[in-house]
Structures are given as C-alpha cells and as structure tokens.
Amino acid sequence: MANVVVVGAQWGDEGKGKIVDWLSERADVIARFQGGHNAGHTLVIEGEVYKLHALPSGVVRGGKLSVIGNGVVLDPWHLLNEIAGLREQGVTITPETLMIAENTPLILPIHGELDRARESQNNIAKIGTTGRGIGPAYEDKVGRRSVRVADLADDATLELRVDRALVHHDALRRGLGMEPVNREELIAKLREVAPQILEYAAPVWKVMNEKRKAGKRILFEGAQGALLDIDFGTYPFVTSSNVIAGQAATGTGIGPGAIDFVLGIVKAYTTRVGEGPFPTELDDENGQRLGERGHEFGTTTGRKRRCGWFDAVLVRQTCATSGVNGISLTKLDVLDGFETLKICVAYELDGKRIDHLPTAADHQARCTPIYEEIPGWSQSTEGARSWADLPAEAIKYVRRIEELIDCPVAMLSTSPERDDTILVTDPFAD
C-alpha cells in the first residue's frame, strides 16, 4: 500500500492541517516526524474548529493510530493540555489511538526561558522565534544532553539526564544574567508528569515497520514549511529541524524506501511569519487584501503573516529538495476578484537574472522579483469541487504554476472545509 509524506513547500501556514485530515480518512497511521508545538494546524470538520499544535492531525479521526515520532521535540505539559482540550470537544484519545516514540526529546521549562531570554537580548538580528523552547530543545538533542521520554521511567536516569543538561544551561543562564535552574523543582515537575506521558510511550520505529509490513497505509505529517528547513531554508531565519521530506524517515525510524509519494502543500500566494527575506512581499493594498481575505494570522502565535504574490522560484526549489511528486494548491479562493495576478518567475541579483534563491543571506536580501502578469477572475472559486466549477482564468493560473514549478497539481483546495477539494492525482494510489 502507498505511504504518503505531506510537507509544506513554502514558509509554513500552507493549509497542511486540512489536507492531512482529508487524506487521513484513508490512512491507517498518521505520524508527525519533526517540529514542536510552535506549529499550528487548524481543522474545520462539520463546522467544528480544531486547533492542533503538538498532536498529529489524525487524532480527530476515529479508528486511526496517531504517532509522535522521535524527530519531534515534545513539551509534555503542553501535550497534556492539548489532549484535555480536545477531549472537551468530544475527541477520544487513548494509548490505543496515540503513541509517542520513547526516544523523543522533551522540551523543558528551561528551554522556553532560554529561548525568550536570548530573543529579548538579541540586538543584532532577531530570528522571530515563538519563544516556546523548540530551538534550545533541539540544541540539547544534538548536544547529547536531552531528557527523553524513556528517561521518565527511571528516577536515577532522570536525575542524571537533568544534571547533565544543567551543567550547560546554568552556564548559559549566568551569561544572560538569569538565575540558576531550581534542580529539585524541575525534577519534581518531570516526576509528576511522567506517568501521564509514559502511558503513550512505545518503540515507534518497531510499530511503524510492523504496520508497513502488514500493508497499512501511513501518512507522514510535517510541520512548518521547507523554506524554514535548518539546512535548505532561509538561514538563519529558520526552524531548528529538518522540514523536508527526507526527515520523515529519520524522524519516525522507518526506511526511506517506505515513502511512495511526497505531497507538497502550496498556497496560491505566499506568506511568511517572523523575520527573514521575502522577495515577493507586498506592503501595499494588495498585500493587505490577501491578508484580510486569507485570515492570515498564525494559529499558534496569532501573529499577522506577511503576504505577497506567488513565488514560483522558491516552490520549484522546495519541490526539488523534498522530491515532491505532486502539490496540493490551497487557498485559491483568496485570489477571487483580483483583476491581475503576478507570479515571480525569476530574480534579479546585481543586474543578473537567476533562477533560484541564493544561499548567502546578503544575496537573498538583494534579490528582486521578476514578475509575469496573468489575468485574474471575478467569479467565486470558493467551495469548488471539480474543474468545471472553476473559471477558465483560474484554471490557467493553476496550469501556469505547474509549468513554472515543474511539478503537477495533485489536489486543489478551495475553502477550509475538508470536502471542498478537487482531487487530480490520488497520492495513496498503489
């Protein structure tokens, strides 16, 4: 059976939650493979709005196994609050429906404190972090000083892991003028939360491989977007993990040969939250119109998103680095009523035309977009469920995007409602 990876192909906020939910109806397992609770996915199901941050989007679908993989960094307190909130909305979450990899690193309160202190004292170049401790938690992971889910099961191991982390953190805190960590209080908090987290703990790599061998369909869900990838994003204005599709394998413990289809989620225009380069950003009434019509505010932070025209250069680049087989184009309806639309087809850098976003930050900052204009449409595309429901100009816009990014459209989303979707290519097809 086909297994599908879903990745954001821009700077995040492309509408992954709805698409994952749409696909999850046909999947048996839905696995988060990177990121933390700084990601936000909004699902609208039969008028009910669900806002997810740490949990995979599949949790709102009965009869599915949702998995938090080892590539994620997990705030246990946030997770339990999120579970409680969903239960109040009638969602059933049990160890039979949710599984957490035993080797998942934990986000501790000290990570959030460090994150916020650094950002507040950084007068050189702010990154635009959400302050939730994701970056410092990933630093501890690669620094081999994380407290992981499995460590919660043994007091001696837990204390050893905390002590190792505090050697590093207390030194940093002194340099930032912060008080030392209260060791006993931190250990007490972890002991208190341990039983509630451990009931979901499992060897996810083993379960995932068993599910695959049994012919179960697996949906791999990423957070953020490929342009925030730690290696291939607009560094240093990026997240602290690999976001591209290859992370689905290492972030869950399943081999790359298990991936059959990579679906890139792409918004019909471009948005970005936080700092960093944005070649097609609009500071005019068109940018304001996109933001208002698209309700462009972050699910997690509530921060207003920066808006701009569709950037085919960037999407072509992310489709290449993630090996995207097809894209799901979302929010096409937000473009309804524009007399003329623009698509960025290349950049100009120091008088030369280039066809990719350069790696050097100073070069990125000097890139100016080269636009191609395309006629807009006056009819509404909201709620369209077939090509016949779309105006001819909207179809031309979609086809032109396919040509420019060198990747076909597999799905087309025309509203937040899960059924307002046009399926072109079935990612789960064998």
Catalytic positions are: 13, 41
Please provide the size of the chain in residues: 430
Do strands 4-8 and 218-221 pair parallel, antiparallel, or not at all (unpaired)?
Answer: parallel
In three-state secondary structure terms, 362 is helix
Cβ–Cβ under 8 Å, residues 19 and 328: yes
**What letter represents residue 229's amino acid?**
D
Cβ–Cβ under 8 Å, residues 233 and 188: no
Cβ–Cβ under 8 Å, residues 97 and 65: yes
- Rounded Cα distance between 121 and 131, Å, is 13
In three-state secondary structure terms, 207 is helix
Angle between helical axes of 392-405 and 312-322 (0-180°, round to 10): 50
Q: Specify the DSSP element, H or E, that contains 118.
A: helix 109-121
**What letter represents residue 302's amino acid?**
G
**Cα-only R_g, the chain:** 22
- Tokens standing for 135? 């970056």
Q: Where would I find the H helices in 280-388? A: 285-293, 312-322, 361-366
**What letter represents residue 275's amino acid?**
E
Q: Which whole-number Å values give the CA distances from 311 to 26, 232, 256, 317, in the listed order? A: 32, 16, 29, 10
Cβ–Cβ under 8 Å, residues 196 and 8: no
- Tokens standing for 341? 């639309």
In three-state secondary structure terms, 193 is helix
DSSP single-letter state for residue 323: T
- Tokens standing for 340? 């003329």
